[in-house]
């Protein structure tokens, strides 16, 4: 079982590491510009796309869970139909996003406030990067299908290639052509379409045999599409809560009422510190994605013994990874932070908050692993309820109370408590959500 976990986890870890690596490179490029407004612009602009893509994350999560269960039942026709429904919805949502990009931009910057220069840069960033939406959503469906079919190597190649192209383009556009945050946005567009075409190539090469089961009529059958959307609506609600929490964190970081320092400085500080969380999260998500595939397949095959054993081993791996990252952040965190920016004001203002980063790995890893297990079990209602409890009953009260008296420290405390609550609530719901699905 350890071998199966690692065969799925290691490719996911490699591919996931490339994602925060891209974020770190972007922050480093902006951190070495002549103004920290560029960091703020990337933070605000990226937040809009986080909101969009995370809210549509069910296209990947739902696809991987349903595909894995169908494969566990050896129902090959259903595997290709799960993918085709997800791809159909991705196409429709891409068209909607492009048609409504103007209203989306207007509403986003009514909510997200920053200094005038930051907002101007972020708006231009949005107008360029929005054209990558079709490629990003198409990859959601394709990569979810690959993972559900127990193949983590194809997503690894796609994501590593995508982010490598992105890094190269960003460096050329920013450092050589002087395009600033606009160059980062353009690099993302080019890289996303490169990744989409690569994923389509792999899909045709390795899964052509499944095309004989495909049916347009079955794909667009309303009852089936409605069922797919209803099942994934719980994942959508769960993801929206997560997006709201992260959005409030970033938006509040840009609020001058939160602290005595300049708003751009604290926004830059929290944006860079959050890269440490993102780096850890994408690594531990390698095991979470492995749990999606394994849990779905074992439930589809009705293998209770294998399910119980896989979950125990996943948490042993998670504990070890978390301890390692805690040591890395304790011993090398300052050097990592200074590599991200040479702005002395940002560095000085970040030091009082760095201990929150050190606490993140050990206090948050259970939330990531249970997320993957619940996705594989297609336990949408339980995921939704756990997130609602964590957001409404933990994060928001802590944010209001601690933020009022502790400033930016209170914001970080609320975020840490939120991550702890997610892990605890899903642990308590696991018997009904996961174990009850196998006999």
pLDDT tens readout for residues 298-339:
998 889 999 999 999 999 999 999 999 999 888 877 777 777
Listed ranges 22-36, 72-86, 116-130; the one with the highest mean pLDDT? 72-86
pLDDT value of residue 261: 46
Q: Average pLDDT over the chain, rounded to whole?
A: 84
Residue 207 backbone dihedrals phi, psi, to 5 degrees:
-125, 25
pLDDT value of residue 256: 43
Indicate whether 267 pLDDT > 90. Answer: no
* Residue-wise pLDDT tens digits, 143-173: 999 988 989 899 889 988 998 898 899 889 8
Q: Determine what percent of the chain is predicted with pLDDT higher than 90.
A: 33
The answer to whether residues 225 and 85 touch, using CB atoms and an 8 Å cutoff, is yes
Q: Determine what percent of the chain is predicted with pLDDT higher than 70.
A: 91
The answer to whether residues 248 and 418 touch, using CB atoms and an 8 Å cutoff, is no
Q: How far apart are CA 315 and CA 388, in angstroms?
A: 24
Name which residue leads in pLDDT, 2 or 395. 395
Q: What is the DSSP letter of 112?
A: S
pLDDT value of residue 215: 83
In terms of phi and psi (left: phi > 0; alpha: psi -120 to 50; beta: otherwise), the region of 112 is beta
The answer to whether residues 412 and 356 touch, using CB atoms and an 8 Å cutoff, is yes
pLDDT value of residue 259: 43
pLDDT value of residue 24: 62
The answer to whether residues 361 and 277 touch, using CB atoms and an 8 Å cutoff, is no
Indicate whether 232 pLDDT > 70. Answer: yes
Indicate whether 365 pLDDT > 90. Answer: yes
Q: Which pTM does this prediction carry?
A: 0.77
Q: How far apart are CA 383 and CA 402, in angstroms?
A: 26
Question: For residue 293, how many C-alpha atoms fall within 13 Å in the half-sphere facing its CB?
Answer: 26
| Cα 433 to Cα 69, 147, 384, 438, distances in angstroms | 15, 21, 11, 11
Q: Kindly indicate the confidence band of residue 107, based on its pLDDT and cuts at 50, 70 and 90.
A: confident
For the residues 335-355, what does the mean pLDDT come to?
75
Would you say how long the chain is, in residues? Answer: 439
Indicate whether 262 pLDDT > 60. Answer: no
pLDDT value of residue 260: 47
Task: Count, in order, helices (H) and strands (E) of the chain.
Answer: 18, 0
Q: How far apart are CA 23 and CA 45, in angstroms?
A: 13
Q: How far apart are CA 311 and CA 433, in angstroms?
A: 13
For the residues 174-197, what does the mean pLDDT come to?
87
The answer to whether residues 116 and 107 touch, using CB atoms and an 8 Å cutoff, is no
pLDDT value of residue 122: 84
């Amino acid at each position: 079982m350890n071998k199966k976990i690692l065969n799925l986890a290691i490719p996911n870890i490699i591919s996931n590491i490339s994602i925060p690596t891209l974020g770190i490179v972007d922050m480093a490029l902006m951190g070495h510009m002549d103004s920290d407004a560029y960091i703020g612009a990337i933070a605000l602009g990226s937040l809009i796309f986080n909101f969009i893509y995370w809210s549509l994350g069910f296209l990947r999560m739902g696809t991987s869970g349903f595909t894995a269960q169908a494969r566990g039942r050896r129902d090959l026709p259903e595997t290709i139909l799960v993918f085709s429904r997800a791809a159909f919805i991705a196409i429709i949502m891409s068209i909607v996003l492009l048609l409504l990009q103007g209203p989306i931009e207007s509403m986003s910057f009514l909510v997200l406030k920053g200094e005038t220069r930051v907002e101007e840069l972020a708006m231009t960033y949005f107008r360029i990067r929005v054209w990558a939406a079709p490629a990003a959503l198409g990859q959601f469906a394709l990569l979810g299908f690959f993972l559900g079919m127990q193949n983590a190597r194809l997503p690894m190649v796609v994501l590593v290639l995508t982010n490598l192209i992105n890094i190269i383009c960003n460096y050329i556009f920013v450092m050589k052509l002087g395009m600033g945050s606009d160059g980062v946005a353009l690099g993302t567009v080019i890289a996303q379409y490169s990744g989409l075409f690569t994923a389509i190539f792999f899909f045709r090469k390795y899964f052509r045999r499944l095309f004989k089961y495909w049916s347009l009529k079955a794909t667009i059958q309303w009852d089936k599409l409605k069922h797919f959307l209803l099942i994934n609506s719980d994942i959508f609600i769960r993801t929206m809560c997560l997006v709201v929490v992260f959005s409030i964190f970033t938006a509040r970081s840009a609020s001058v009422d939160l602290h005595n320092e300049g708003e751009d400085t604290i926004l830059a500080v929290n944006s860079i510190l959050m890269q440490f969380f993102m780096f850890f999260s994408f690594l531990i998500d390698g095991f979470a994605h492995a749990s999606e595939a394994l849990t779905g397949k074992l439930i589809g095959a009705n293998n209770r013994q294998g399910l119980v054993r896989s979950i125990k081993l996943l948490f042993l791996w998670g504990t070890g990874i978390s301890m390692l990252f805690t040591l890395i952040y304790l011993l090398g965190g300052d050097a990592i932070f200074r590599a991200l920016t040479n702005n002395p004001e940002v560095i000085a203002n970040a030091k009082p908050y760095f201990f929150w980063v050190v606490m993140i790995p050990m206090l948050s890893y259970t939330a990531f692993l249970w997320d993957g297990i619940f996705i594989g079990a297609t336990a949408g209602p339980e995921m939704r309820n756990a997130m609602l409890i964590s957001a409404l009953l933990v994060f928001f009260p802590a944010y209001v109370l601690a933020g009022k008296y502790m400033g930016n420290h209170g914001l970080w405390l609320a975020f840490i408590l939120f991550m702890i609550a997610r892990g605890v609530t899903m642990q308590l719901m696991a018997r009904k959500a996961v174990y009850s699905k196998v006999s």
